[in-house]
Chain A
Amino acid sequence: MRHCLTILLVSIFFFIDKSICQTHFTDVTAPSGIKHVFKVYEGMFGGGACVIDFNKDGYEDVYITGGVNDDVLYKNNGNGTFTNVFEQSGMTVTKNFVTQGVTGADVNHDGFVDLFVTTITRRDKKEVIPRAINLFFLNNGNGTFRDATKEYGLDQLFSFSTSASFGDFNADGWPDLYVGNYFNEYKGKLSVINDNTVVEANQIAKGNLFLNENGKKFKDVYSDYGLDFRGFGWGGIFTDFDNDGDQDLFVNHDFGYKRTPDLLLENHYPRQDFTDVAKEKGMDLKINSMSTAVGDYNNDGLMDYYITNIWFNYFMVNQGPGKPFVNKVKELGMQFFSISWGANFADFDNDGDVDLFVANGDLNPNCVPMANYYFENLGGKFEDHARAIGLADYGIGRGSVVFDYDNDGDLDLLEVNQEPVVTDYPVPSVTKLFRNDSTSGHWIKISLNGIDAESHGIGSKIEVEAGGKKMIREIDGGASSIFSQSSVIAHFGLGNATKIDKITVYWTGGNKQIISNVSTNQLLTITEIPGKKSHFFIYLLIGLAAAAVAGFIYLKKRKTV
Chain B
Amino acid sequence: MMESPTVLRDYNAPAARSLRERDPARGVRWGRFALIAVALTFMAAFLFLPLLVVFTQALAKGAGAYLAAVSDPMAWAAIKLTLMVAAIAVPMNLVFGVVSAWTITKFQFRGKSTLITLIDLPFAVSPVIAGLTYILIFGAHGWFGAYLQAHDIRIVFAVPGIVLATIFVTFPFVARELIPVMQAQGKDDEETALSLGANGWQVFWHVTLPNIRWGLLYGVLLCNARAMGEFGAVSVVSGHIRGLTNTMPLHVEILYNEYNYAAAFAVASLLALLALLTLAGKSFLEWRQPELRHGARLKRRNSEK
Note whether A and B form a binding pair: no
